[in-house]
Amino acid sequence: MSAAHRLQLEPIATPHRLLLGPGPSNADPRVLEAIARPPLSHLDPLYLELMNEVQEMLRYVWQTDNRITIPVSGTGSAAMEATIANTVEKGDRVLVGVIGYFGLRLVDMCNRYGADVEVLEVPWGEALSFESIEEAIIRHRPVLFALVHAETSTGVCQPLDGIGALCREHDCLLVLDTVTSLGAVPLKLDEAQVDLAYSCSQKGLSCPPGLGPFTMGPRAEAKIERRKGKVPNWYLDMSGLKSYWGKDRTYHHTAPVNMNFGLREALRLLCEEGLENAWVRHRDNSEKLWLGLEELGLELHVPHPLRLPTLTTVRIPAGVDGKAFSSHLLNKHGVEIGNGLGSLAGEVWRIGLMGTNSSASNVDLLLNLLELELPAFRSGRVAV
Ligand code: PLP
């Protein structure tokens, strides 16, 4: 065992970083102040009131009337797992649309919960066509179709036109990953006829990581009521969680109250700005970034109509060591950009403009840095 005197560490001193990678994004200072408030009990009447407010504002940012709309305690993956754990039963036929890394995570989770999984895939950088989805749903007759709206590994925004109606027509639940779209990319959940969706706190909502917003509609509730067995995951079982988040407010687990203070403030910020205005801001700043990158002679990985306003994939120029360059930006300038993930590792950088970080000044700052620092890496003047 270590002696106590060797554990007398200095207080944590995090440097200021501008997080322009795939997430987390910087938290808004107002959110950080809210998180620093003294905790309340998770059953304190003041906290119970805050839960109502958070639920109401989450419904607004998702544009849904879903009764069960809650922040799951945990990151986006916990909320992702909540959708699958609750709805999938052993042997259920499930179809997963895979347009990148996070689709593969959905496949993995569905397999772990015993689903009979069919996969519909496209090369990373493309989106699934409506026709291919229709054909796969007719062929496989799944009870659930899971899809990533904003694929953070590729920078593709999956078009949703007609998919919700198609799923209803074929009696199939639609699960949508909105981790990199909530609050930033146009999405009206009820209008799109999405049955279950999940997200995270650390991207478009300008909050630190730690909460996973989750929502489900009546068709999903009905499927869960028909379950033959218990949800094989105690923590994420909505039958327990909904009594804490519903009228009864019965204890389920000790909620991370301070994170929910932060989420409340983050959602308040979004309500002040207005959802549509936030969508336009993200769009405008990403258009400015795309133009600037192309003016620097860089190539974007995704064709314009499919690009995500929150996450841009830029192809690493030939001869440049992508990781060495992103490390240089972080170490010298305190600016983070992301490296490629999965099959795009070494091929692209990932630039995030999410939540409070989506601003014209951040775009200018990054473009200036690229203009200043990239030539040395291109010409091989920087040893790798
Ligand atoms: N889905 C997508 C599209 C993501 O980008 C991420 C994380 O970045 C996740 C799911 C998982 O979320 P988390 O890392 O918060 O668990």
Percent of the chain scoring above 70 in pLDDT: 99
Q: Which atom of ligand 1 is nearest to the CA of 23?
A: 8
Q: Which atom of ligand 1 is nearest to the CA of 202?
A: 15
**For a pocket test of ligand 1, which of 179, 201, 308, 311 has the largest count of ligand atoms closer than 8 A to its C-beta?**
179
Residue 384 in this model has a pLDDT that exceeds 60: no
Taking the centre of ligand 1 as the mean of its atom positions, its distance from the CA of residue 76, in whole angstroms, is 5
Going through the chain in order, the beta strands assigned E by DSSP cover 18-19, 68-73, 93-98, 116-121, 144-148, 150-151, 156-157, 173-177, 196-198, 211-216, 311-315, 335-336, 338-339, 348-352
What integer pLDDT is reported at residue 383 of this predicted model? Answer: 53
Does ligand 1 lie within 6 Å of residue 81's CB atom? Answer: no
Mean pLDDT for the chain? 96
Q: For 100-149, how does the pLDDT look when each residue is reduced to its tens digit (9 = 90+)?
A: 999 999 999 999 999 999 999 999 999 999 999 999 999 999 999 999 99
Range with the poorest average pLDDT among 4-8, 145-149, 175-179, 240-244: 4-8
147 alpha carbon – ligand 1 mean position (Å): 13
Nearest atom within ligand 1 for CA of residue 212: 15
What pLDDT is stored for residue 247 in this prediction?
86
The Å distance, Cα 84 to ligand 1 centre, comes to: 15
Looking from the CA of residue 22, the nearest atom of ligand 1 is: 8
138 and 81 Cβ atoms separated by less than 8 Å: no
List domains and CATH numbers for the chain: 29-271 (3.40.640.10), 275-379 (3.90.1150.10)
152 CA: nearest ligand 1 atom = 5
Place of tokens 């009594």: 243
pTM of the model: 0.97
Residue % of the chain over a pLDDT of 90: 95
Q: Residue 336: beta bridge partners?
A: 19
> Of 211, 212, 236, whose CA–CA distance to 224 is shortest?
236
Which is the closest atom of ligand 1 to the Cα of 203? 8
Give yes or no for residue 180 CB within 6 A of ligand 1.
yes
Binding site membership of 109 for ligand 1 (Cβ less than 6 Å): no
- Strand pairing category for 93-98 and 116-121: parallel
Q: How far is the CA of 5 from the centre of ligand 1 (A)?
A: 39
pLDDT value for 1: 65
Average pLDDT over residues 19-36: 98
Q: Is the CB of 177 under 6 A from ligand 1?
A: yes
Contact between residue 74 and residue 201 where contact means Cβ atoms under 8 Å apart = no
The answer, yes or no, to whether residue 196 has pLDDT greater than 70, is yes
108-117, 144-153, 238-247, 305-314: least confident range: 238-247
Residue 114 exposed, middle or buried by CB count within 10 Å (0-12, 13-18, 19+): middle
Bridge partners for 151 per DSSP = 156
Question: What pLDDT, on a 0 to 100 scale, did the predictor assign at position 248?
Answer: 86
Report whether residue 80 contacts ligand 1, using a CB cutoff of 6 Å: yes
Ligand 1 neighbour 148 (Cβ under 6 A):
yes
Question: Ligand 1, residues 77, 153, 350: which to mutate, most atoms within 8 A of Cβ?
Answer: 77
pLDDT of residue 4: 80
CB-CB contact of 103 with 144 (8 Å): no
At 40-77, the pLDDT tens digits run 999 999 999 999 999 999 999 999 999 999 999 999 99
pLDDT of amino acid 6 = 83
**Does 215 have pLDDT greater than 70?**
yes
Q: How far is the CA of 359 from the centre of ligand 1 (A)?
A: 22
How many beta carbons lie within 10 A of that of residue 364, not counting itself?
Answer: 13
